[in-house]
Chain A
Amino acid sequence: ETGVTQTPRHLVMGMTNKKSLKCEQHLGHNAMYWYKQSAKKPLELMFVYNFKEQTENNSVPSRFSPECPNSSHLFLHLHTLQPEDSALYLCASSPHAAVGADTQYFGPGTRLTVL
């Protein structure tokens, strides 16, 4: 595997379910990100992790819970979601998330549908 991978690629869940999205980067980067891409809206940054520490939470509802056990893996735990949370969730990584403006490398995304 190369680059940034995400699993699953598609997920359908009910509002009472609990599920998790997984992201893995094989680039040796130290920063990882979650973005939400909704139809007809710009990509929204959700969370930033730098060296496993969360450095940004963009006012995301608590029903989204990120986890970064190491610099290569990032999870997004989902529970009691709403239909309006249906979107493409993108993971990205970059060498660092603080100094400078490193290029971010994106995964293919998880298409989430909440029924």
Chain B
Amino acid sequence: AQTVTQSQPEMSVQEAETVTLSCTYDTSESDYYLFWYKQPPSRQMILVIRQEAYKQQNATENRFSVNFQKAAKSFSLKISDSQLGDAAMYFCAYMALGAGGTSYGKLTFGQGTILTVHP
């Protein structure tokens, strides 16, 4: 079974600084996607960034970027120039593609990392 592990229950960062959230996963599949979702307090969970496993280039979305190390099964999220609005619970998630590219929408989530941003 696939598992996703976020080893940092809590992280903190000063406003305008950079922080990296860790995620490792375990899978025997060769074709899969990885995601980072953000869940602000009392607000909806939204997608931050996604990475296709077959792509060697790391995904970036403005201040958010990932370090995808396929061999190490590591998928960390870097937040640059942190802002107060970045404070949230961050979830790493995994979705495998089976035969014919089928996923059945089955996302596996990590335990989450609470990020605090200090002004």
Contacts and interface: CB of A to CB of B under 8 A. Distances in A.
A105 B108 CA distance: 15
Interface residues of B, number: 29
A31 interface: yes
Contact of A48 (B104, B109, B111): B104
Interface string A69-87: 0000000000000000000
Contact of A90 (B45, B97, B108, B110): B45
B97 A45 contact: no
Nearest to A96: B105
B107 interface: yes
Contacts of A31: 105
Contacts of A33: 105
B23 to A, nearest CB: 12
Given A42-B4, A100-B97, A55 B104 contact: yes
Nearest to B47: A103
Nearest to A107: B44
A11 B13 CA distance: 35
Contacts, number: 71
Contact of B105 (A41, A56, A107, A109): A56
Interface string B23-45: 00000000011010100001111
A108 B111 contact: no
A81 to B, nearest CB: 23
Interface in B23-79: 32-33, 35, 37, 42-47, 50, 52
Given A3-B44, A4-B44, A42-B112, A104 B102 contact: no
A101 B97 contact: yes
6 contacts: A41-B111, A99-B101, A101-B52, A101-B103, A104-B105, A107-B44
Interface of A: 3-4, 31, 33, 40-43, 45, 48, 50, 55-56, 90, 94, 96-109
